[in-house]
Amino acid sequence: MARLLGDILDWSALDADGRRAALARPRRRTETAVTDGVRAILDDVRTRGGAAVTDWSLKLDGAAPRRIAITPALEAEARAALPPAATRALKIAAENVRIFHQATRPDDGDWVETRPGVRSRIAWRPLESAGLYVPGGTAPLFSSLLMLAIPAQVAGVGRRVAVTPPSRDGQPHPAMIVAAAEAGLEDLWLIGGAQAIAALTFGATFDDGEIEPVAKLFGPGNAWVAEAKKQASALPGGPSVDMPAGPSELLVIADRDADAVVAAADLLSQAEHDPDAQVLLVSDSRGLIEAVQQELELQLETLPRADIARAALAEGRVIRVKDVAQACEVSNLYGPEHLAIQTLDAEQWAERITAAGAVFVGPNAAETLGDYAAGPSHVLPTDGGARTMGGVTTASFMTSMSIQSVSAAGAAALAPVAAQLARMEGLEAHARAADLRSGQ
């Protein structure tokens, strides 16, 4: 029987090309058809606005865009449609997300006096608007709505525009309505895919409302959504984006003492997201690797989304290393969206990690807990983005600026220095502006 994660790759035996191939992302994420298809959608929406968004939505999702007003009556109806345990879980998750982001919201910095009379500080301001893309379709990810809309609210964003693909019956899932209410949203747009990103980028008018262009795009999505965000941000005057947040990723570092049942369950928890998701198992124990492979087969037998998981596992990797230290090196090179460390002394090894969107330390820290209820946002960088950036925080929905205040005495002391440096660079106008402050 073929192993679900393929043959074991011996990291120490791989050359540079072999190591790059071992850590490569699925090719489907960068197919020309995706790039060209997204460009066609963006160009059409830029030209025809809401009419183009509607046409693409009907073609790709089978439903026209709809605005859902989050009224008290609709919220009550949605709560009634869910079991009490479900609404209670949503409330707890929302509370934890809010607590974490309120505690980590950046404050204006103190004044720093670099020279007598020369003071500066960092000030933070919320964005005027933010577009929040919430994945849906085959699985309504209402958790992503909480993970985006609540940090944006805590930051003080002026206008939050949430979009999500329609479900197969064209109706919003009750949990999505409750999540929107918990996050304090006034409405929710049922639009998905690249056409939703285009609507947030250029603006679009529909029969039941208008989406105005937003300043920044947020949220995870499939390869089409990730590519749309990338192309939108490259447009002149286009919105900025939070990060590359495409199909999900999980790397598990496990030693001989790890629980193979737990490791397999965690790998499958990400593999079931999307056929383009990618999971990696990195271990110094052949016995543990074999046990995890067997567990994957066993657990897949009863998994409702087994076909999706199998497709993702086909893009997975299993890498054998000489020790946990080398496993950390491999993880840092890959820069996973999610990293689970299931080893002895896991907290010690976490100190070796320099590139990961979120790190789950020890056997009890299931990635699923972070996905839903621990507090930090689960919107994290994929495709190696974790090597240079972090996940969504309250600060993601804010901008920082330096504020400088200079007294007459401070200017007199600093102006000759600035003027000298300006003339060294050949910028005479700069120098003269400094001279005017020198008091001479």
Please work out, in degrees rounded to the nearest 5, the angle formed at the alpha carbon of residue 164 by the alpha carbons of 158 and 168: 160
Give the pLDDT band (50/70/90) at residue 170.
confident
Correct CATH for 32-242 of 3.40.50.1000, 3.40.50.1980, 3.40.50.300, 3.30.420.40:
3.40.50.1980
- What's residue 137's pLDDT? 67
Mean pLDDT of 65-74: 96
Strand partners, 345: none
How buried is residue 287: exposed, middle or buried, by Cβ count under 10 Å (0-12/13-18/19+)? exposed
> Is 101 assigned a catalytic role?
no
Of the candidates 101, 173, 273, 338, the residue annotated as catalytic is 338
Mean pLDDT of 349-373: 95
Token pair 């197969």 is found at 168
- What's residue 5's pLDDT? 86
Smallest Cα–Cα separation from 317: which of 359, 270, 280? 280
> Is 337 assigned a catalytic role?
yes
Model pLDDT for residues 257-287, shown as the tens digit of each residue: 999 999 999 999 999 988 889 999 999 999 9
Mean pLDDT of 235-260: 94
pLDDT mean across residues, the chain: 94
pLDDT of residue 2 exceeding 60: no
Give the CA dihedral 37, 39, 44, 50, nearest 10 degrees.
Answer: 90
35-44, 132-141, 208-217: segment of lowest average pLDDT:
132-141
Taking the domains of the chain in order of start, what are their residue ranges?
A: 8-24+247-375, 32-242, 407-435
Question: What kind and span of H or E run contains 228?
Answer: helix 223-233
pLDDT of residue 172 exceeding 90: no
- Secondary structure class of 399 (helix, strand, coil): strand
Mean pLDDT of 123-136: 96
Question: What kind and span of H or E run contains 142?
Answer: helix 142-155
- What's residue 1's pLDDT? 45
CA distance 221 to 158: 24
Token pair 């997204």 is found at 38
Give the pLDDT band (50/70/90) at residue 440.
low
| Topology (CATH level 3) of domain 8-24+247-375 | Rossmann fold (3.40.50)
Contact between 185 and 163 under an 8 Å Cβ cutoff? The reply is no
Strand partners, 120: 112, 404
pLDDT of residue 46 exceeding 90: yes
- What's residue 276's pLDDT? 87
User: Model-level pTM?
Assistant: 0.91
Mean pLDDT of 243-256: 92
Pairing of strands 216-218, 209-211: unpaired
Of the candidates 337, 378, 428, 430, the residue annotated as catalytic is 337
CA distance 169 to 139: 13
8-24+247-375 and 32-242: identical CATH topology: yes
Model pLDDT for residues 173-193, shown as the tens digit of each residue: 899 999 999 999 999 999 999
Neighbours of 136 (CB within 10 A): 23
- What's residue 29's pLDDT? 60
